[in-house]
Homo-oligomer: A and B are copies of this chain.
Amino acid sequence: MTNPPTLKEVAQRAGVHVTTASRALNPATSSLVNAATIRRVQAAARELRYQPNVIARGLKTARSMSIGVLLPDLTNPLFPPIVRGIEDVLAAAGYTTLIANTDNDPDRQAALFDSLRARQVDGFLAATAHRDDRLFTEAHQQGVNVVLVNRRLDQADVPSVVADDQDGIAQAVRHLLELGHTRIGHVAGPEDTTTGRARLRAYRQTLDDAGVPAEAALIATAGSFTEAEGARATRALLDQAHGITAVVAANDMIALGCLDVFTERGLHCPGDLSLVGFNDMPFVDRLTPPLTTVRVPHYDIGAEAARMLLDRLASPGLPAKSITLPVTLIPRTSTTTP
């Protein structure tokens, strides 16, 4: 690969010292340089199509202008919009985004975390948190800049940006209650994520508030937010929950698993069972039937988290805020009267 021009070459062409060229090109220091000199340097830079070597700069400034993003799996349709929000904000601020897929494996997560640190990332955005994740707590305490996305930790001491899980499920459950359902089941998400647990709690709470008992038999738990686990849990749920007429799935992937099992058992949705998801993933509006679900502003969650991280980079030691973004129930065809 042809080597890009260096600052030295630009300086030579402009007939000045490297230092001067550096100052001339850097907006923060260009005020110290003669206007005519600046013009000459800029001209030289343009002619050579000079681009500062971000790596060399990082070595000196101890900043890489890059951010590590930890995801479970980029191919889960939940994450691309989040990543897009992150990238748009970071790129506008001159930062590069480094994405890593942990596949929900704690060892892999730790390895990727180290590997990103070795690349001197200036901070982390993590969508992979488990409730008791020591990694992020410790990193945060050690002064590593971390913002959690979509999920948080049990202790609220690491900054985070999440959706309003509690309110989303409350809306979903109330929607079903209003339709006349009283035997409403829940396929819960993994207990070791705050999303899984918060949604389960909100489900119980909302039924409680309405004076409807939330029987244990109406709840089954998926081991992960996947179609397969959703299907497994749904089979258990249908076996144990008599008279059930509606299901609240902890997210859309799990809802897909529910639909699979409904089909498998010859149950019609929404005729026999109503179903609500969570996330409003792409294409769930085109399923058979179109899925009633809770819309989450994924792009904004990513963008907001990136902004929060940039704020923290600019002002180290800021208190660990936690932002919750509002969600909306999107009623579609998968829910109807019992």
Residues B51 and A115 in contact, CB atoms below 8 Å apart: yes
- Write out the residue numbers on chain B whose beta carbons fall within 8 Å of the beta carbon of A315: none
The CA-CA distance from A258 to B101 in the complex, in Å, is 34
> Contacts A96-B119, A144-B2 known; A101 to B84 CB distance under 8 Å?
yes
The CA-CA distance from A256 to B282 in the complex, in Å, is 12
Chain B nearest CB, measured from A64 CB (Å):
6
Of the four ranges (under 10, 10 to 19, 20 to 34, 35 or more), the interface on chain A belongs to 35 or more
Residues A75 and B84 in contact, CB atoms below 8 Å apart: yes
Q: Which of A164-172, A238-246, A266-274, A283-291 contacts B (4 or more CB under 8 A)?
A: A283-291
Identify the interface centre among A66, A119, A142: most chain B CB within 10 Å of its CB: A119
The CA-CA distance from A120 to B55 in the complex, in Å, is 7
> Contacts A62-B3, A143-B1, A286-B287 known; A120 to B53 CB distance under 8 Å?
yes
The CA-CA distance from A66 to B96 in the complex, in Å, is 12
Residues B62 and A59 in contact, CB atoms below 8 Å apart: no
Count identical subunits in the complex.
2
Residues B75 and A81 in contact, CB atoms below 8 Å apart: yes
> Contacts A1-B145, A87-B101 known; A118 to B51 CB distance under 8 Å?
yes
Q: Which of A251-284 contact B (CB under 8 A)?
A: 256, 282-283
Residues B282 and A77 in contact, CB atoms below 8 Å apart: yes
Q: Which of A114-144 contact B (CB under 8 A)?
A: 114-115, 117-120, 122-123, 142-144
Residues B98 and A54 in contact, CB atoms below 8 Å apart: no
Residues A77 and B74 in contact, CB atoms below 8 Å apart: no
The CA-CA distance from A286 to B122 in the complex, in Å, is 41
Q: Which of A55-88 contact B (CB under 8 A)?
A: 55-56, 58-59, 62, 64, 66, 73-75, 77, 79-81, 83-84, 87
Residues A98 and B96 in contact, CB atoms below 8 Å apart: yes
**In-complex Cβ contact of A77 among B1, B54, B77, B84 (8 A):** B77
Q: Which A residues are closer than 8 A to B by beta carbons?
A: 1-4, 49, 51-56, 58-59, 62, 64, 66, 73-75, 77, 79-81, 83-84, 87, 91, 96-101, 114-115, 117-120, 122-123, 142-145, 256, 282-283, 286-288
Which 5 residue pairs are nearest across A and B when measured between Cβ atoms? Answer: A51-B118, A283-B283, A75-B80, A2-B143, A288-B288
